[in-house]
Structure 1
Amino acid sequence: MYFGDSEHLAVELFNGRIRISYDVGNHPTSTMYSFEMVSDGNYHKAELIAIKKNFTLRVDDGPARSIINEGSNEFLRLERPMFVGGVPEDVAKDAFSKWHLRNITSFKGCLKEAWINHKRVDFVNAARTSRTRAGCGGDEPAMPARPHALQEDGAHEPDPCVPNPCARGGRCVREAGSRSDYTCRCRAGTAGAQCELRTSVGGAPVITQVKLPPRKQIISNVQASPAAPAQKQYPEEAPAQPPAGGACRKEATREFITEGSCRSRRPVRGARCSAKASGTPGGCGRALCCAPRKTKKRKIRLVCADGTRYTKDIEIVRKCACGKKCPRNTPFIH
C-alpha cells in the first residue's frame, strides 16, 4: 500500500517482513519492520494505526510496534490516490528513488479483505484495477498451472532485480525458483539487506567519543555490540583483588554510536574501565587487566543518512575490576 509524495505512508513486503515508511513532513522519514515473518503462504492479519505523527503496526494480534515521526508537523496531508497491491511505473520509480519503497514489484497473493476507518474497501469498484480478479486460490477450484505463462496484459513476469534494488554498487541475485525474492551481494566496505550501510575496517561499526570531566554520580560505560546478537557476559576466572589506591576505575565519557552512515541521535553517557594507580605504573599488575566485571544491556536508536531508523543493542558496564579475563581489543570494548 502506498500513497503520498514527499509526505507519505508506505506498507510493503520486504525480505519476508512488513516494512513501514511514515513521513508527515518531518525529516527524516520514520521506518520499522514487523517482528513476524509473513511470507509463508498463510493468511495474516495486519493492523495499521496512524494517529497524527504516531504510527503503530500489529500482526496477528501479536505485540505492537510503534514509531514517531518527530518534528513540527502533526498530520499527514495527502492529495494523491492510494494504491493497494502495486503502483504505476512512474510512481514506483519516484518512490524507490526516495527510499519510500524498497520493493516495487506488485503484490502476488490474495488479499481477503481490507478496512479503512471501519469501512470495507470495495476492490471490485476501485477507480483503477490491473491484473486482479475476485476470489482467492484457496477459496476456489484449483486451476491447472501453466509454466512460463504470460501475464494477462501480455508482459513477461517482472524481474525483482530490475531496477537494481541494491545500493552502493551491490549486485542483485534473483533467488532460484522465486518470482519476487532476491539477495544483494554487497561490495567490500558495505553491509545491510540492500548494501545501504557503510562499514569500517573488519565490518565493525565506528564509535566516536568525547571525554567528560569526572563526575560524582555513577556513570556506566557504553559498549556497542555488533549488528549480530549482543556480546554474552561471562564470569571472571579467579579475579585478583585490585591494588590499593583504586587501580581499576571508571572514567566518564560521552560517545556517539555510529554504524556506517547511521549514528545515535545524541551522545550516550558512559564510562570506560581504566587501570591507573597513583604512583604505580601498570595499574592491575602482571597478567591482569582492568575490564568490565558487571554489564547491563540497553537499546539505542540510530538514524541513517537516508532517513531510516533502527534499534541497536549496546552494553552498559556497571562495574570494573582487575582480572585474568581480558576482552579482545575491538572498537566495542573500552
Structure 2
Amino acid sequence: MKGRTFACKCAARYHGKYCQNKIDACYGEPCLNNATCKILQDGRFKCHCVKGFEGDHCETNIDDCTFNKCQNGATCIDLINSYECKCPVTHIGRFCEVKMEFCSNKMNPCENKGVCVRQALSYRCNCLPGFTGTNCTINIDDCEHNLCKNGAICVDGIQSYKCECISGYTGRFCELSPMSSNYYPNTSPCHAHSCEHGVCHELGSDVFCKCSEGYTGKRCEQLRAAGYVHDDSFIALEPFSASPDGNLTFTLITTASIGVVMYYGDNAHLSIELYNGRLKISFLHDGRPHRIEIYIKGITLTLKIDNHEPQTIVNSGPEEAFILISKNFLYVGGIPTSVAIKAITAFHLKQPHSFKGCISDFYVNGVVVDFDKAEQKERVLNGCFKSVDLCSGVQCYSGTCTTNSSLSNGYICHCPPGYSGTHCQRREIFCAKEKFHYHHVEGNCRSTEQIKNSRCYGWCGSDSKQCCTVVKSKRRRLKMHCRDGSTTSQIVRIVRKCQCTAEAACRAT
C-alpha cells in the first residue's frame, strides 16, 4: 500500500477530503421574500413560500388581479396576497361599486358657500371671493402682500386684512409714527402739518412729508402707483370722454406676457391688452418701466411707446371719428368677471387675464389720476416696486414657484412627486423608490465598499409610513472589515420594488 493514493467518493449532503463536512444547502439564504428554507435528504433545499409568492426561490409575486372584482373601469393593483381597486373619479368603494353623486344634497364637497358645478367625470367648485382650493377650503392669505408698517401685526380677513398697530402708531397701515400727530412739541413745525399718507419730518424751519409706497404730493395726498399681483384685480375709474379728442398716458412695468392693461366702453370701446408680450407693436414684458401714450383725434388713434416712432391707425368704420362716450367705468389693470364675459363675447378682448405688474402716473386728458379716489379698487396694492415677482401671492402648496414669462400667468408651480395640479394642490397616491449609497455598518464592522440600496417613500392615502412598503427585494452578501482587524460577511436586503399595501388604514378617503 505504500506509495498509493486514494480519494473518497462522498455520499449526498457531504463533502471534503474525507467526506467529513456536511453540506448546508440553505447557506446564503437562497429563499427570497421571507420564505423558509428546508434542507432535503438528498442535499438539496426547498423553499416554503409565504402567502402571495411562488417559484423555486419564492421570487414571484402571484398576480392576485387575475380574478379581481373591480368594477366600473377601475384599475386593479396587485399587492401581496391581495389586490386593490383604483377607482375612477366617478366611483368609490372597495370594488368601485358605488357611484359618486357629485353636487347632490348628500354629496356637496364645496365649502364656505362655494357653488358646486357638476361636470362629466367630476365636479368644480366656484368659490366666493376670498376663498380658493379644490373645495373652497382655503382662505386666501391677504396678508401675503400686506403693507403694515412699524412692527404692526397683519390680521387676515375674507378678501381683506387689517393692521394692528403697536403702541403709539396710527394710520391704516400703522405708517404714522408717534411723532407724526399730537406727539410733536408745540414748537415743532410738524405740529400743525398734516401728511395724509406719510410722516412729517423737520428740515430746519421747514417740513417735508416722507410718503408711503405709491403716494406722492406735498402732503402725500395722491396715490399715483398701483401694484397688481393677484388674479381678479382691477381699478375702476369714472367714465372718460374722448370725443372728438382725448389722450391717455401711463407707465407700466411687467414680466408677464398677457394681461388686460385697460378697457373702456361697450359698443364703441377702447381696449389695451398685453398679448404674447406685445402691446400692439413692442415687447414690454421685460420688467422695466415703459411709458405708454395714446392720442385720439378725429378718426385717428396714435400709440407711442417710450418716445419711439408713433404708430397710427385710422378708423375705417362707418363712424367719421372715434366716439368714446360711455357711462361705464374705465378699467385699469383688469376687469370684473361680468364685464370680461361681455368683452370676450363682443370680440373686444382676446383674453380676460388680470395684468400682473405695476401701473403708475396715469393721466386722462392731461389730468393725473389719484387711484385713492377711484370708484372701485379690487385686490390692488398701493405702490410699485423695484422688481415684480410674479410668484408673490402664488401658493404652490408643496411645490415651488418660478417665473416664466412665456406662460399666460407668468409663473409655473413645480410639483414634487405625488402632487399635481396648477398649484400642486392635488395629492396623488404613489409609492416609489428613493436610491442612496452607503457603507453598511453592523456592530464594530463596516462594509469594505459602498452599496447601492433604496428606501420606499410616498403617500398611499394615509400619513402612516407603513403604507408604502417593500414588496420585492433580494439578498446580498457583503464583505465586512472589523475594528479588530478581522473580516466577516453580512447579508443585507436590497429593495427592488415598493408598493402601497391593501390595509384599510392605508386607503385614501
Note whether the superposition's TM-score is higher than 0.5: no
Higher relative contact order (CA 8 A, sep 6+): 1
User: Which TM-score applies when normalising by structure 1?
Assistant: 0.39
Which structure shows the higher strand fraction? 2
Q: Which has the larger radius of gyration?
A: 2
TM-score (norm: length of structure 2): 0.26
